[in-house]
Structure 1
Amino acid sequence: MVSFAPIAATGVSAILLTYVVRYISYELSMRGKLPIAPKREASWWLGHDYLVAKNEVGVEYGRWTRMLGPVFRIRSALWQDDKVIISDHAAVKHIFDQAYTYIKSPAFQPIVVKVIGRGIVWAEGSEHKFQRTLVSPAFSISAVKKDGSPYGGVFNMCDYIPAATLDIIGTVGFGRDFGPESPEGKAILDAWHTDVTLFSSFAGFLAPIVIGVAPWITKLPIKALTEDSTAKKVIHQVGRKMLREAPNLDGTDMFSILVRESWQGKLRPDAERRLDDATLLDNILCFFMVGFETTSGTIQLILHDLAQHTEVQNKLRQEILAADSSDIGVIESLPYLDAITREGLRLHPSARDTHRIAIHDDVIPLKSPVTLSSGETVTSLPVKAGEGFIIPFLVLNTDPSVWGPDANAFIPERWLEGGSNPPADKLPHGPWGNVSNFADGPRHCIGWRLAVQEIKLITAAIVKNFELKDTGATVKKFISPTVQPFTDGKAAHLPLGIVPIYH
């Protein structure tokens, strides 16, 4: 009879030896010598991750940055490798510029596929370049500009602003009505409210971590893991129906533009590949969710800022009324509305952070020197393939060393001529507004123009017709799954006083 005890003992010894060697190698590496968030604040099994999640967006990242500097480590949940947090401007610019070296974390790919499919957000490398080339016409300046709304009381903005952005993105994306009274619109809004509540729970926090540790779990026959999101089902259903029709050669909505580009691709003899129907639908879904969910959260929080700063609200209303125009170009060019939009985006990025993984060795330059635990000071960070980083958007947008001592205050005037902002080269980089929200480099947010336009148009329409009043409620920001307002622990809840203005 064969005894398996020696074999088992040998196997366990090998695993332990491998772990010890790995641990020693890590501790001796530069990464292992980076400053680390206080270990006493870390859970033994959830690391610092739970502290980040249970507190408001950006609070812990900001506190640790002020304590440790713009490059540091935190303990990860479920005993994974430490996470490195980077808000050093030079390092962030390098990572974003080298977008095909630093890919998005593969741990999130299964979740992305279930929610918004295999579109441009999911794609990497040559696939991303291909998709971006073909979808870019739908986000040109001309395409975005072609698509352009009796009682007072206290209202939950989360019941109204998402419906407004859903209606707009339905028009821009599909050229059809996705209002809250339509079956499709109602299904998406109901699913959105459910998702916000789910993601704010402990299970919602833990599930992505577990999937990251064991991605094979998404292959199990569990309905919650195998079933696509409601929005994905609805958009694909509508899109497939429209694909069976002849392409609209004159349509200015994104769907028509993408179908036209793909359809023309069939006719070009030099076209090696066109955008297939599945990828086209996934990209429409991606733009749809980004334009609907993420933008609505930022708009709601800007309205809350305006309710708390009546002098800013009144000044904006005067500018809008003086313009006396409903023309999109005129509204977009209003300087104070532009300053409020920039300040709102600065303080309320729709994502807490972004994760990047290096696919080959590299060296990241640092603007600010980092002191290691050994006492050595370094001005660059060597990176090995497989190592990852977290870039916290709100920390970049509110760093007191950049924005000044009032970095966390809502002051639109900082963006006007003669304002308090330092020169643009000292601020975060990106495609618009010197805020980090839209990232930078080859993978910057392709829909930033639409997001900015939505914010300006909805904010202007509301402020022109209604006076916003603060209710005194304590509103906080949490990730669920994008940044959303919470009041007294209640998800997707932002009460504001609304008083009609009769012109």
Structure 2
Amino acid sequence: MAPEYEASWWLGHEYRVAKHEVGVEYGRWTRMFGPVFRIKAALWQKDVVVISDNVAVKHIYQNAYTYVKSPAFQPVVVKVVGRGVVWAEGDEHKFQRKMVSPGFSITAVKKMAPGVMACVDKMIHRLQNDCKGKNDVFNMCDYVPACTLDIIGQVGFGYDFGHETPEGKAILQAWHTDVKLFSTFAAFLAPIVIGVAPWITKLPIKELHEDSTAKKVIHQVGRKLLQEPPNMDGTDIFSILVRESYQDKKRPSAERRLDDNTLLDNILSFFMAGFETTSGAIQLILLDLAKNPEVQSKLRDEILNADSSDVDIIESLPYLDAVTREGLRLHPSARDTHRVAIHDDIIPLKNPVLLGDGTTVTSIPVKAGDGFTIPFLVQNTDPSVWGSDSYEFKPERWMKDGGLPQGSELPGGPFSNISNFVDGPRLCIGWRLAIQEIKLILSSMIKNFEFRDTGAKVEKYISPAVQPFVDGKAAQLPLKVIPLQH
């Protein structure tokens, strides 16, 4: 159990986690108690077990239909991203996952690259036009999120959600508002209250029933597109999924297909996840590069010496790949993931755990209703696994012999065995696209600009994904930007 004296009598340990930077409290408690410990939940709910033991984490991920997302939050998920694959559980999740997978295959993502590059080029030109001197300071939160929004519009819909379009402006404005609101105490408390009293979501309160701005815009645009014949040549996710459903419509005996609402809700889910989480990671990697000019210079040399017009070459650059992996290791886009057991079970442990009563256990007995939290950053930076420099930005660790832990020491996942994209049946379906975006944006930014640290103290908080803060203000990442001539 995390120290009792650190728990609020009504907010438990959860508020300590929320009010500190991402990973700080989880990391401190892990160093004190090991990779398995309990914390007190807010509002006198059941204690939550925090787990970073990699064997236990793998067990939970692989048994995703035993360890589900909290049912109490389903109404909130529906309001924000609808009833897509993020919301679905059990057989419904299996069905939706199968139906949307063609939109995220290796071939599909590769075909999206030209659309990604077109959006990146627009951001580069915008930033070049805004640069007036050699030491201009820009807030990267005004540029990178707009670019990733534009990208998701293109690869998700084949639709222009640029920062100057009405739809793009509406979504970006709503995002800035949400980022500011999410960091408040009320935003911390609201989902906990809903978890305690789910019936609150049925009250006639406008805010509890009105869809998010992004959901309204995506459904509006999508319904217009659904009235048109399917684009048989479109490489965007929407066109791919519509073609899949269209083929089913032509075959009366076909199995169940995605109905229009579920199709649009899945596009919305990918839209929100891809837009916000990817932009946060990119911004924080840019900060790492600004603070490590030798790494930035080495990366720039690699990019300039390559054929940067060939996307395949860019994506295969070894040092860019190492920078991407190291940046994601240090900056997972979420603080943690929560799971609730719906069946009794036994979770195996890699190493024995000493309990408060002095007994030692090699597994955890689980009762239906038990809750678990898996902290991402703790797994990605555990000094006992990654070494004494685990919190430092060192891309070289990915390129030298013996620089990395054994895969058996890590939680698993589709990319480098780091925790960011989880694993098992619920691993992030869009992970390939996220990696592509990060590499193409970073390569273009570093090729065209030099970034320098301003000395501002940048902190990382959840709002609602990981965002940079300065002086308590959300979505702030000031960097000196110097245009380069080639």
TM-score (norm 2): 0.95
* Contact 1:167 1:179 (8 Å CA) reproduced: yes
Match of 2:48 among 63, 79, 83: 83
Q: Tell me, what secondary structure is at the counterpart of 2:357? A: coil
What amino acid does structure 2 have at the position aligned with 1:60?
E
Q: Tell me, in whole angstroms, the C-alpha distance in 2 between the residues paired with 1:127 and 1:241.
A: 27
2:435 is aligned to 452
Deviation at 1:270, TM superposition (A): 4.4
1:57 is aligned to 22
Q: Tell me, in whole angstroms, the C-alpha distance in 1 between the residues paired with 2:276 and 2:95.
A: 26
Q: Tell me, in whole angstroms, the C-alpha distance in 2 between the residues paired with 1:215 and 1:345.
A: 35
Q: Summarize the alignment of residues 30-45 of structure 1 with structure 2, pairs less than 5 Å apart.
A: 36-45=1-10
1:469 is aligned to 452
Q: Tell me, in whole angstroms, the C-alpha distance in 1 between the residues paired with 2:444 and 2:252.
A: 47
* Contact 1:413 1:419 (8 Å CA) reproduced: no
Change (3 A) 1:236 1:94: same
Q: Tell me, in whole angstroms, the C-alpha distance in 2 between the residues paired with 1:463 and 1:473.
A: 21
Deviation at 1:327, TM superposition (A): 1.6
1:144 is aligned to 109
What is the root-mean-square deviation in Å for CA atoms of aligned residues? 0.9
Q: Does 1:264 align with 2:247?
A: yes
Deviation at 1:271, TM superposition (A): 2.4
Q: Tell me, what secondary structure is at the counterpart of 2:92? A: helix
Q: Tell me, in whole angstroms, the C-alpha distance in 2 between the residues paired with 1:219 and 1:329.
A: 50
* Contact 1:96 1:443 (8 Å CA) reproduced: yes
Q: Does 1:403 align with 2:386?
A: yes
Match of 1:207 among 190, 203, 209: 190
Residue deviations 1:366-393 (CA, integer Å, cap 9, x gap): 0011111121100011111111100001
Moved over 4 A (4+): none
Q: Tell me, in whole angstroms, the C-alpha distance in 2 between the residues paired with 1:239 and 1:393.
A: 34
Deviates most, 408-417 or 84-93: 408-417
* Contact 1:338 1:456 (8 Å CA) reproduced: yes
Q: Does 1:416 align with 2:399?
A: yes
Match of 1:159 among 129, 135, 142: 142
- Percent of residue pairs bearing the same amino acid type: 75
* Contact 2:20 2:461 (8 Å CA) reproduced: yes
What amino acid does structure 1 have at the position aligned with 2:36?
V
1:255 is aligned to 238
What amino acid does structure 2 have at the position aligned with 1:478?
Y
Q: Summarize the alignment of residues 334-483 of structure 1 with structure 2, pairs less than 5 Å apart.
A: 334-483=317-466
Match of 2:86 among 105, 116, 121: 121
Deviation at 1:473, TM superposition (A): 0.3
Q: Does 1:68 align with 2:33?
A: yes
1:99 is aligned to 64
Residue deviations 1:351-407 (CA, integer Å, cap 9, x gap): 101011111111110001111112110001111111110000111111111001111
Deviates most, 292-301 or 218-227: 218-227
Q: Summarize the alignment of residues 179-218 of structure 1 with structure 2, pairs less than 5 Å apart.
A: 179-218=162-201
Match of 1:228 among 211, 221, 241: 211
Residue deviations 1:300-326 (CA, integer Å, cap 9, x gap): 000000000000000000000011222
What amino acid does structure 1 have at the position aligned with 2:468?
P
Deviation at 1:254, TM superposition (A): 0.3
* Contact 2:470 2:477 (8 Å CA) reproduced: yes
Q: Tell me, what secondary structure is at the counterpart of 1:437? A: helix
* Contact 1:339 1:415 (8 Å CA) reproduced: yes
Deviation at 1:230, TM superposition (A): 0.3
Q: Tell me, in whole angstroms, the C-alpha distance in 2 between the residues paired with 1:42 and 1:67.
A: 16
Q: Tell me, in whole angstroms, the C-alpha distance in 2 between the residues paired with 1:101 and 1:328.
A: 40
**Rg larger in structure:** 1
Q: Tell me, in whole angstroms, the C-alpha distance in 2 between the residues paired with 1:174 and 1:453.
A: 17
Residue deviations 1:417-436 (CA, integer Å, cap 9, x gap): 32521222222300112210
Q: Tell me, in whole angstroms, the C-alpha distance in 2 between the residues paired with 1:323 and 1:375.
A: 59
Q: Does 1:312 align with 2:315?
A: no
Q: Tell me, what secondary structure is at the counterpart of 1:323? A: coil
Q: Tell me, what secondary structure is at the counterpart of 2:242? A: helix
1:295 is aligned to 278
Match of 1:178 among 155, 161, 176: 161
Q: Tell me, what secondary structure is at the counterpart of 1:44? A: coil
Deviation at 1:414, TM superposition (A): 0.8
Q: Tell me, in whole angstroms, the C-alpha distance in 2 between the residues paired with 1:198 and 1:370.
A: 39
Q: Tell me, what secondary structure is at the counterpart of 1:355? A: strand
Deviates most, 90-99 or 427-436: 427-436
Q: Tell me, what secondary structure is at the counterpart of 2:285? A: helix
Deviates most, 274-283 or 411-420: 411-420
* Contact 2:307 2:314 (8 Å CA) reproduced: no
Q: Does 1:110 align with 2:75?
A: yes
Q: Tell me, in whole angstroms, the C-alpha distance in 2 between the residues paired with 1:270 and 1:460.
A: 48
**Unaligned 5+ residue runs, structure 1?**
1-35
Deviation at 1:297, TM superposition (A): 0.4
1:241 is aligned to 224
Kindly tell me the number of residue pairs found equivalent between the two proteins: 468
Residue deviations 1:448-498 (CA, integer Å, cap 9, x gap): 001111110101110000000000000000000110000111101010000
Q: Tell me, in whole angstroms, the C-alpha distance in 2 between the residues paired with 1:46 and 1:359.
A: 25
Q: Tell me, in whole angstroms, the C-alpha distance in 2 between the residues paired with 1:453 and 1:342.
A: 12
2:118 is aligned to none
What amino acid does structure 2 have at the position aligned with 1:451?
A
Q: Tell me, in whole angstroms, the C-alpha distance in 2 between the residues paired with 1:373 and 1:444.
A: 34
Match of 1:134 among 99, 116, 126: 99
